[in-house]
Every structure is written in structure tokens, then in C-alpha cells.
A and B are shown apart, each in its own frame.
Chain A
Amino acid sequence: MSGRPLLRMSGVTKSFLGVRVLHGVDLELRPGELHALVGENGAGKSTLMKVLAGVHRADGGTIELEGERVSFEHPVQAQRAGVTTVFQEFNLLPERTVAENVFLGREIRRRGLVDGRSMERATAELLAELELEGIEPWHRVRSLSVAEQQIVEIVKALSHDARIISMDEPTAALADHEVEVLYRIIGRLRARGVAVLYVSHRMREIFDLADTITVLKDGHHVDTVPADGITPAELVRTMVGRPVSAVFPERLEPHGEHVGRVRLSVSGGGNTQLDGIGFEVRGGEILGLGGLQGSGRTEVARALFGVERFTRGEVAVDGRRVDPRSPRRAVRAGLVLVTEDRKAQGLALNQSVTANGRLVLDAVWPFGSARGARRLPGILSSVELVARGGHGQEVRFLSGGNQQKVVLAKWLAADPGVMVLDEPTRGIDVGAKQAVYRLMRELAAAGVAIVLISSELPELIGMSDRLVVLRDGRVAGELPGGASEEAVMAMATGSPHESSTPASPAGPASTPEPAGSADPSDTAGPSDTAASPDPADHGSGSSPDSGSSSPDNGGGSPARHEEAAP
């Protein structure tokens, strides 16, 4: 791992429209090394990657590849030199096969015609080299899962004889078991001497994988350290530039008239994907909706919001029965959904912060929107939006975290009673995550009923007062806040675990606990123990050395599950 660096970037600067986003960044990559590039969103990680990939040209500084100075003007040039990039947005053609995608733009030809068979053979060799099963060269990309598509991107990179592969948040869209496949592939790449530049917000991955960590902040190179020379807490502090006191903010003292009242109740909800969905959420409570990808979490959110409605069962908001047939009706009833995909479903990217912020008001209450919009500046500052260009700036120029804050502000302007948040922190930086967590706590304390959907178990467990776990479109059971990750996973996968309590499929999940589910003393203990070993945003339970945290949680959980059983 020592020896001559494969790549040396020094003093790289880059400006966009006069705004300098990289201030003399240095970076060295050695063969077989995994170099993690971390920093908050907007720190310049993506720009640096794009400079390396030849998408952008550096304004200043030098890039040396094996001691030779290079300057890539086009991604193809970089690829020819063995520098490839797997971007967050895949560049795959869904209707083409794996092999066709791998060799896109440089198809193997024989007598002027594309030689499909050799392309498939070459692709099969690459797949075999990575010891991957389940993907065949003739599969259509459309039929692959997100994780498999990512693998195709990596194979594509390898087919260029890549010596350097940079990956931009490769796990953002992957489920846990898929992440392991990625780990394995990365291991093989490194064994081949490929250097990997890895951008991620997930502390667990960084410390699992990285040899070296470079921290960027506001376009400046802050530090480069060996991964075993820094703790997650120190790393987060370096990234944010300030200590992040606790992983998840404390519950706040509830106030407001709605605290403790049932604000959302669902019973017997079902449609083509769901069956027997039943739960209640009270004002002041954060209900976590857990389950594997495809278990129906997002579908429940969409059904509540009237996108793919429940065809049976009942939904009531604040005691009034509602039939959410469209998002508009749901919003009128006081229920809003912060969607999973903020770019496709949450924002009009070419419009200003203000226009996005008041869109719900304009659409749903056109005659009161001017009055409602007067609250917008206050709401935007309460979500801690940092928009350099003011509120007239188009949201496409904002970082992911700030875009998410605009989405939240848009919904807060509607003054909702029930807020469903589907993956509210996906792809946003540590600072923005903290802001979202704090906001959730404040809203809960003010009497809003919150339903949180998250694939990140530590987040789900740490933020929720109560968990409803789904499996195959049904409610698999209910767990108290602070349950162990093992208990949640056991329930989500349906593996025989002593603590799983299947709820009756037809009936609503009864909540014998009174309003006290929002009571801090009830849940603070377990969640604190779950969170304490790792002050970073990705927590304890599943990091390899923290198996000790499970017994004490597991000890507490079974008794509480009995309470939740009907």
C-alpha cells in the first residue's frame, strides 16, 4: 500500500460563475488503497470527483497520474487513462442488456458489425472475476435491482482497465445485504491494485472500508488522516467544524393542545400491495415505520397521501374519517408526505426557494396563499436553510441538504397535523441531518403526529417513540422505541426471534399504552444506550464490535412486546 502514489492532485482550484468551490485541494491515491472523501454537502467532494473524472476542468493546480502530468478535458479521456467514476446517477440504458451497457460507445466489432457474442463473453469474464452471481450479460438493465445496476456500473468501469475508480455515495440506494455485496466487490478491486476514491456520508462504511480519510470543508482541504488514527466522533467534528453533541437530539417537553390525542388512525387498510394495515399515531409522537425495502413502507405512505389509495379500510385524521383520493385531499385533511425522492417528487428545481416554499399554499388554498406566504421567511429560517443567493435562488443550485429543507418548509407552510417523512435524511450531510432531527423533535413537541420511514436502522430506532414493522405489505408487529436493531431486523425478516409478536392481520394495531408513549422517561433510557457507543450518525448495533449493546436492549424488549400484543 505504500510506494509511489498512483495519483497526485495538488492545489486544485475550481470556480463556478465566480464562486470558488475548491480552494487548493491536495489528494494522493495509492494502488489498492481505499481513500474516503468526506465532508458536508457542498464541501466540494462531488466537484473534486468531477475534476478527476474529466467532467470539469480545474482552474488551477496539477493532476499527476503515475508521475505524469495530465489534464482531462473529457470523461472519455479520463476513462482511457484508467480513471473511471461511478456517479450517483447511473448512466445506464434501461432497455439494453448488461453487456451492451458495459461496452456502450466502444462496442466490439467484427467486420463493421457489433459483435454481441464477444461482448457478452467479455462481460461474463469480468463478472466472473468479481465472483458475482445472479447477473448475466444478456439481462436487460431494467430488470435488475438498483444494487445490481450499480454493479453493472462498476463492471463498466473495470472494462476500461480502470486503475482508479471513484464512487459517489455508492450505498445511498442500497439495502443492507446489498451493501455487503458492494464491500466484497470493493475488496476484490483493491486486491487487483485498483485505487478507490469513496464518497459517503455513512460513518460505518467509512470506518469499515477506508485506509485513508480526506476531509473537505467549504472547498478547503482540512485534513488527511489514516482511518485508524481517528475516531468517528473526531471525524464528525472535523467535518462539521463543531462538535455534534449527541447523535439524536433529546426529546423536548411537549406542549400544545394536540399532544397525546390520536391524530392519525388507520385500520384494515389495504390495496394491491398492502393488507391489514393498522396503527395509530398521537400528537407529540414519532412513529417509526420499519421493514425491508419492498415491505410496503413507502406504499403505506403513498396510500395515506392518496397517490395509490387504500381500496379498503379506514383512515381518520384528528378523529375525522377521511378518504385520501389525491394528495390535495390529504393535504386538506392535514396530512402531508415528504417524499423519498426529493428531486423527482419534491421540488420544481428551476423555481426559486420562495416559489417552491409556497407551492402547496398556492395549489391548495389559492385564496389564502398570500397571507400564508408571509410566514414563509420564518419557516425557512426555522428549518435552518442556508441559501447563499437568498430566497430568490433556484433550488437546483442548492445542496441536497438545503433542498430537503426547502421541501420541509413547503410542507410546514401547510401547517400539517400529521407528517409522514419518507427517508427524510437520505443523501444529506451530517449538519443537515441534525437540523432535520431537531425539527422533527420540535414538531412533535408542538403536537404534530409524525410517521418516520427510514432504511437506516439507527436513525429509525433513535428517533422513534414506537416502531411498527412491516413485512410483505402487512404489519409484522410493533416494538417500543429504543428496541435493538436485531429485534427490528428479526421482525422485518420474519426470522424466528423470541421477541416478534405478529399483529392480527385484519385488526388495527392496538396501542394499550396511553398518551405516555411520547413520555421522555419511557424511552430515553434504551435509546441512549443504543446510541452512546457511536456518536456519529450511524450507530451502534450493527457495527462489528458492538454486539454487547444487544443483550441489554434485548432483555428489555420482550416484556414490552407483550404489552403491544392485542
Chain B
Amino acid sequence: MTPTPTQDTRGSGALAALAALGRGGTATVALLLALIFAGIATQNPSFFEGPPLMAFAQKAAPLVVLAIGQYLVIVSGEFDLSVGSLVGAQVVVAARLIDGREDMTLPVIGLMMLFGLAVGLVNGLVTTLLRVPSIITTLGTMLILFGAVRYWTGGAPTGALSESFRAFGRRGIEGVPVLGEIPWALLIALVLTVGAVLCMRSPFGRSLVATGDNDVAAAFSGVRVWRVRTMAFVGSSLMATVAAVLIGGYAGVTAQVGDGLEFTAITAVVLGGVVLGGGRGTVVAAVLGALTLEALFTLFTQFYLPSTFQPSVQGLIIIAAVAYAARRGDLRLPERLRRRPDHPTERSLGTSRR
């Protein structure tokens, strides 16, 4: 029992930041990542020699970007299941519009961003203003996008991406000593991670986390709950668009691109210790969660485990991670179960927006 004498926020800032990292599960997931890397190193000692590490980063970058987007939505207390379908739709549509023409690259990327923005707005506004639970809203958009793309392409993707479009996903700065080539994808993911960390420290980020923790209290404090949540969905859709550019470049155009990515992203975020239901966890933890998941898949490859097994592993991880989070600290019942029922005359005045 050592009462901290310092009341100065600046003085305890570093300590508090450390404590926050621990609470958010960042330390746990970092340790897990280190363990898996160690496991990879025993199987493949040359993994850390530069080029293989860069190849890993390039492969992991899209998931990192998706995890950032999913983090924004989950920390605000919602879900986004539409990102996988959105990635698929973006890649297929881009291939058809570009059709191999270099001069179409930038206009199409711009168009993709607008489309991502639109999907995010629809997800956000339907969830907040029409009060459809986000799990349903985004399930809906997921199916709509999935069907629309199949209808539009007639089932098989046509066209091709341009070389400059694909460069984002599979080229980089060449001729770097030791590392060989630094992939653009890694740089993009890094920039977005730094941007997301700054964003979460901004008034918007703080309002977003507070909304995820207790949206009534946030609304009473003057937060425009519908607005911050909608912006989280827009962020998620824009991140999915960036991921689509990276994945399209890296893996090319197939009918299956993007399939199941929403679950991979959610798994990554949950693995990072960002509790479903909102209000906890850091964006760094979500990014580390994405890296850990990707590293785990790499390890599987080294053990010659078939990749078809991956969804089962994700399922196990989701359950295990949430169970672990629930056991950390005292068992946390959802607030609404613990709260005393309202006085009946006051119930009609309830303001909970959900």
C-alpha cells in the first residue's frame, strides 16, 4: 500500500502511460508477439535477417491497417463486419475500372476513397440515427456489397490493376542496406499507426473512448455520440479502402479477395486486449494484435500446417482472449445487469440511446 504522493499529472504521466499500457493488454500482447517471434526464430533463424522480416511486414500491413479501423469502431462500442466485403468490392471494382490503364490509377484510388467514405457514412448513420445495432447494420452492408459486386461482375472479376496501383502493395524503397527493400505497405501502415495514435490522444479520440465506455455519460458531457460513432465507422471504411489497395497490389484480383477479413481484423483487435463493448484498450495493442496474428500464421506455415485451419484458430483466439480479459481484474458484469432497475416513473425518461 504505497500512496502515490504525486498529484501532478505531468509527473505521473509516464507512470500512468505505463499503467495504461498494462491495463490495455498491450504488455500482454507484446509478450505474446515476442514469444511467437522466438518460435519462428527457432524454426527459421534467418527470419530476422532483413529481407524475410520485410516480407513479413509487407504481408502483415493490410491486417494492421484493418485492425486500426476495426479498433476505432470497437472502442466506441460497436462492430464493423462489412470490412471484408468492402475490401473485396473495392479490389474487384478497381480492377474493372482501371483495366490495366496506368493513367486511371489515381482517379480510381480517389473514387475508392469516396466509396469507402460513403459506406462508412451509411454504416454509421444507420447505426446511430436509425438505431439499428451495428452488428446488424454492418452484416447488412456486408451482404449488400457482396451481392452487388457479384451481380456487377457476373461472378468472375474482369479487368486488371495497373502496375502503379500494384506498387503500393508489392514494391518498396529498394537498395536499403541490411533490410534490402522497405515495402511501401510497411511505411503506409506505420504512418497510419502513428496517425491513429495521435488521433486517439486528440479530443475526438478521447470522446470516442468515453462514448464506448458510457455513451449516456458522454452525451451528458456534450459529446455528439452519433457523430463520433459515425466518424469511427467512416474511419473503419477508409482503412478498409487502404487495405484494399494494399491487398489488391500484393495478391492480385480474385473473386475471393477480402473473404473473412472482417473476422481476422476483429480477432486481431481482440487479441490486442481491446474489450468488445468499448471503452478500453489502445490502438497500439490492436496493431500488435494484428502482428501477433500474422506471426502466428507464419509460424503455422513453418510447421506445414494447412492455411485452411486458420479460421478455427481465430475462433479459439477470440474466445480465449475475451475470457482472459474477463478474468483480468474482478469479474466484470455488464453495467446494465448490475444496475438497480429504474423507478418506474423515471423509466420513461431514460436517455440511453441504445
Contact (A377, B7) CB under 8 Å given A20-B1, A344-B217: yes
Report the separation of the CA atoms of residues A436 and B158 in the bound assembly, to the nearest whole angstrom.
70
Residue of A19, A337, A394 touching B220 (CB-CB under 8 A): A337
Residue of B23, B214, B340 touching A146 (CB-CB under 8 A): B340
Inter-chain contacts of A346 with B (CB < 8 A): 217, 220
B154 at the interface (CB under 8 A from A): no
Most buried by A among B15, B16, B213, B351: B213
Report the separation of the CA atoms of residues A363 and B204 in the bound assembly, to the nearest whole angstrom.
7
A326-354 contact mask (Cβ, 8 Å, vs B): 1 or 0: 11100110000101000111111111101
Residue of A299, A305, A391 touching B12 (CB-CB under 8 A): A391
> Within B311-354, which residues are at the interface with A (CB < 8 Å)?
335, 338-341, 343-347, 349, 351
Contacting pair A345 B216 (CB below 8 A): yes
- Whole-angstrom distance from the CB of A315 to the nearest CB of chain B? 17
Q: Nearest CB to that of A360 among chain B residues?
A: B221
Residue of B23, B221, B346 touching A410 (CB-CB under 8 A): B221
A376 at the interface (CB under 8 A from B): yes
Q: How many B residues touch the partner, as a band? A: 35 or more
Residue of A143, A173, A387 touching B344 (CB-CB under 8 A): A143
Report the separation of the CA atoms of residues A80 and B347 in the bound assembly, to the nearest whole angstrom.
34
* Of A89-97, A127-135, A537-545, the one touching chain B: A89-97
Inter-chain contacts of B341 with A (CB < 8 A): 90, 92, 94, 141-142, 149
Report the separation of the CA atoms of residues A141 and B347 in the bound assembly, to the nearest whole angstrom.
13
Report the separation of the CA atoms of residues A20 and B1 in the bound assembly, to the nearest whole angstrom.
7
Report the separation of the CA atoms of residues A343 and B213 in the bound assembly, to the nearest whole angstrom.
11
Contacting pair A377 B8 (CB below 8 A): yes
B131 at the interface (CB under 8 A from A): no
B89 at the interface (CB under 8 A from A): no
Contacting pair A327 B219 (CB below 8 A): yes
B223 at the interface (CB under 8 A from A): yes
Residue of B6, B209, B349 touching A299 (CB-CB under 8 A): B349
Residue of B3, B12, B222, B344 touching A392 (CB-CB under 8 A): B12
Inter-chain contacts of A347 with B (CB < 8 A): 214, 217
Contacting pair A350 B218 (CB below 8 A): no
> Within B42-67, which residues are at the interface with A (CB < 8 Å)?
none
A359-396 contact mask (Cβ, 8 Å, vs B): 1 or 0: 11111101101000000110011000001111110100
B203 at the interface (CB under 8 A from A): yes
Inter-chain contacts of B209 with A (CB < 8 A): 348, 351, 355
Inter-chain contacts of B343 with A (CB < 8 A): 145-146, 173, 293
B280 at the interface (CB under 8 A from A): yes
A161 at the interface (CB under 8 A from B): no
B16-43 contact mask (Cβ, 8 Å, vs A): 1 or 0: 1101100100000000000000000000
B183 at the interface (CB under 8 A from A): no
A308 at the interface (CB under 8 A from B): yes
Contacting pair B204 A366 (CB below 8 A): yes
> Within A282-313, which residues are at the interface with B (CB < 8 Å)?
293-294, 298-299, 302, 305, 307-308
Contacting pair A358 B12 (CB below 8 A): no
Inter-chain contacts of B347 with A (CB < 8 A): 142
A144 at the interface (CB under 8 A from B): yes
Contacting pair B203 A363 (CB below 8 A): yes
Report the separation of the CA atoms of residues A212 and B62 in the bound assembly, to the nearest whole angstrom.
67
A496 at the interface (CB under 8 A from B): no
B9 at the interface (CB under 8 A from A): yes
B279 at the interface (CB under 8 A from A): yes
Inter-chain contacts of B214 with A (CB < 8 A): 344, 347-349
**A/B interface sample: 14 pairs, CB < 8 A:** A19-B1, A89-B340, A90-B340, A144-B344, A298-B346, A327-B219, A345-B217, A362-B203, A363-B203, A363-B218, A377-B9, A390-B9, A391-B7, A392-B17
Additional A-B contact list (12), CB under 8 Å, known A362-B210, A391-B16 = A92-B341, A294-B345, A302-B349, A327-B221, A331-B221, A337-B220, A343-B335, A346-B217, A349-B335, A369-B203, A391-B7, A392-B20
Residues of A bordering B, CB below 8 Å: 18-20, 88-90, 92, 94, 141-146, 149, 173, 273, 293-294, 298-299, 302, 305, 307-308, 326-328, 331-332, 337, 339, 343-352, 354-356, 358-364, 366-367, 369, 376-377, 380-381, 387-392, 394, 410
